[in-house]
A and B are shown apart, each in its own frame.
Chain A
Amino acid sequence: MTLFRVDTQINRPTAWILSWFLFVAGISLYFYTSQKRHLENPEDKVVPGLTQLGQGISDAFLKSDADDQSATGDGFFHSMLWTDTVASGKRFLWAMLLLIPAVVLGLHMGMFPVVGQFFLRFILFFDKIIALSVLPVLFIAFGIDELAKIMLIVIGVTPTIILDCFNLTKSVPQEQIVKGFTLGAKDFGVTYRIVLKQILPRVLNSIRLNLKAVMLFLFAGEMIASQDGLAFRIALLRRHMGMNVIIPYVLWVALLLFLVDLTMRVANRRLHPWFREA
């Protein structure tokens, strides 16, 4: 029995079967349930069958939103899936851009004691505030339009990123900083060219691991109030059990997240070939 042996060698076909088994099992279970439910009620919408899913996919990928007057024409780039993806994608990118100042702040807090003293205690406190529980405050401060959705993400995710950058900065060996100074570097030189350079791959990793939190806040924001976006569509479709469109949407979001994650991982490896972790 090699199941619980640390040094088990797996050949290629076995590895392939092992890694795909749960997918096949999940899909089979789904269609089994679907078929059983359709025997009972041919119009069942809760677990759509293959033809219903096909219909849903073609609706999502090819048809424009029936309620949206501005969206005319057919084809993928007029489809509701694409317009929703663009809307959500914009919010996502804005939120990612706003993470850059967070990284810089964390770095400065770690390097400069005055900045650190000024911010650390407050951000430690702020980090523990559940953004979703103070929605009325957010509505007053940022309204309920685009800004509010982006700020919800920023408030939800930046404290974690700031604190992580702070800790990473602190973990750079003091000897290197001293050496930088003895070799004639100035404060900002040491900060940006010695410390930031070293922590950057880890910072990127930290952002990568927080992608799911970003998406969670984005979805929450779109479900509270919105006119477009991936979560908006899912919230709307739930109202009449449009599971045949919701399931393709959920898989599409999973695919997009996977691609963003992959891109960041590859970029990190390219940018920092010396970094071997995670």
Chain B
Amino acid sequence: MLWQSDYVLIKRILSLILLALSAAAAGSAADKPSFVVGWSVYVGWNPWYYMAKSGILKKWADKYNVSIKVQRFDYAPSLDAFVAKNLDACAMTNMEALDMPAAAGIDTTAIITGDYSNGNDALLARNNLTLPQLPGRKVLLVQKTVSEYLYERAMTLNGLESQTKRVKLVNTSDSDIATAFISDASQDAVVTWKPMVSQIAKTKGVKMLFNSSQIPGEIVDLMVVRTEVLNRPDGSGQRFAKALAGAWYETTKLMSGKGPETDKVLREIAAGSEDSLESYKEQLSTTNLFFTAQSAAAFTASGDFKQKMNLVRQFCFAHGLLGSSTKSVDDVAIKYPDGSVQGKPDRVRLRYECAYMQMAQMGKL
């Protein structure tokens, strides 16, 4: 026993010496704070894959003296991992940011407003059916997600709000929804997102009845960070956020051009989901990607966005997505860049932050 504890002591001293040596040799590389970012396959999130692969992210991480690991997930597990605090930052939509981490008491800050769906989500039907004919029929969709939100908005905007509940929703797993709808010709309608929408739209006799370009700015894709990570007393969380923003806008700049150089970048981004350049470009055409930090910050800070977010939170509450113990929609409050709060000020759980986008805009990163 004595020998063993001596051994441990010697080892500790040795490692301390080593640490001091390496710190002297290479700055303080050894105690670099490390962070993990989760993303899942989606046109607006694939750039994270490219950033990590191309070294852009590493460059920015080095600049801010942090180390950042990027990990690909399926969407739902990425949310679970974020709620379980296994991820420091994660790509998700405005709706899930509210009903997953925020509703579970995890204070969450959205630092990058990446894009909004401008046709990526769609309601499609067979046999020349129209929206007023849907009541009494079945619609395949992933329930309690943006798909159901899109469906309700489609009904409401077409004056069919009272009929909304007369449609029978069939909860269908997103990995099977395309084959299920395409191969079973007796199914009338489906709501889903791209790339499944593109696949379904090619089927004979299927028409698109409604898509997210008719509700612009309501389905928004974000990069969110846990607020407690962002506010770490040593400032590493903020350095992490700055590195993410810097890398993001360097990448979107590469994506925004035209010509073979841009195509090369886009092809590599598409490879993140084993997609082709053509298919990725097609998806990008129905995505309102904020290529510049300025446009993203302006959108996030606008009064219009607050109203849209209000629709989303009312939907979440009406469908019990904020949890059965949440008695009021105001119990999961949202704070906006101008300091205003939607809901109870002492229960802010989701924060929209423009600071990092603005720094990128002004070239201060």
Where the two chains meet, the residues of A that have a C-beta atom closer than 8 Å to any C-beta of B are 41-46, 52, 55-56, 59, 66-67, 69, 135-136, 139-140, 143-145, 223-227, 232, 235-236, 238-242, 244-245
Contact = CB atoms under 8 A, between A and B. Distances in A.
The 3 closest A-B pairs by CB, nearest first: A43-B105, A225-B172, A139-B183
Interface stretch (B37-45, B60-68, B320-328, B357-365): B320-328
Given A136-B183, A239-B145, A240-B99, 17 more contacts: A45-B83, A45-B323, A56-B324, A67-B165, A139-B179, A139-B180, A139-B183, A144-B180, A224-B172, A224-B176, A227-B138, A235-B171, A239-B144, A240-B322, A241-B80, A241-B83, A242-B323
Given A224-B172, A232-B171, A41 B179 contact: no
B184 A223 contact: no
Contacts of A41: 104-106
> By CB atoms of chain A within 10 A, which of B100, B103, B184 has the most?
B184
Contact of B176 (A56, A67, A225): A225
A81 to B, nearest CB: 14
7 contacts: A45-B105, A66-B319, A143-B184, A224-B173, A227-B168, A236-B144, A239-B144
A225 B140 contact: yes
Contacts of B319: 66-67
Contacts of B140: 144, 225
Contacts of A44: 104-105
A216 B170 CA distance: 20
Contacts of A55: 324-325
Contact of B166 (A69, A139, A223): A69
B125 to A, nearest CB: 16
Interface in B101-158: 103-106, 138, 140, 143-145
Nearest to A56: B324
A135 B172 CA distance: 13
B76 interface: yes
Interface residues of B, number: 38
Interface string B76-99: 100010011000000000000001
B276 interface: no
B183 A140 contact: yes
A43 to B, nearest CB: 3
Nearest to A59: B324
Given A67-B165, A227-B169, A235-B171, A240 B83 contact: no
Contacts of A238: 76
B5 interface: no
A240 B165 contact: no
B29 to A, nearest CB: 31
Contacts, number: 100
Interface in B238-285: none
Contacts of B83: 45-46, 241
A46 B104 contact: yes
Contact of B171 (A56, A69, A227, A242): A227
Contacts of B340: none
B321 A239 contact: yes
Contacts of A42: 105
A46 B80 CA distance: 9
B176 A135 contact: yes
A240 B176 contact: no
Contacts of B145: 239
A66 B317 CA distance: 12
A144 B182 CA distance: 11
Given A46-B84, A240-B99, A144 B106 contact: no
B143 A226 contact: no
> By CB atoms of chain B within 10 A, which of A136, A241, A245 has the most?
A241
Nearest to B143: A236
Nearest to A235: B171
Given A52-B325, A55-B324, A239-B321, A224 B100 contact: no
Nearest to A245: B324
A29 B172 CA distance: 35
A243 B45 CA distance: 28
Interface string B309-324: 0000000000111111
B295 interface: no
Nearest to A238: B76
Nearest to B332: A43
A62 B166 CA distance: 24
Contacts of A67: 165, 169, 319
Contacts of B186: 143, 145
B187 interface: yes
Contacts of B168: 227
A239 B323 CA distance: 11
A143 B184 CA distance: 5
B331 to A, nearest CB: 9
Contacts of A136: 179, 183
Given A239-B144, A240-B144, A241-B104, A66 B183 contact: no
Given A135-B179, A223-B173, A240 B184 contact: no
B144 A43 contact: no
Given A44-B104, A69-B166, A140 B144 contact: no
Contacts of B171: 225-227, 232, 235-236
A62 B320 CA distance: 16
Contacts of A239: 76, 143-145, 321
A62 B274 CA distance: 47
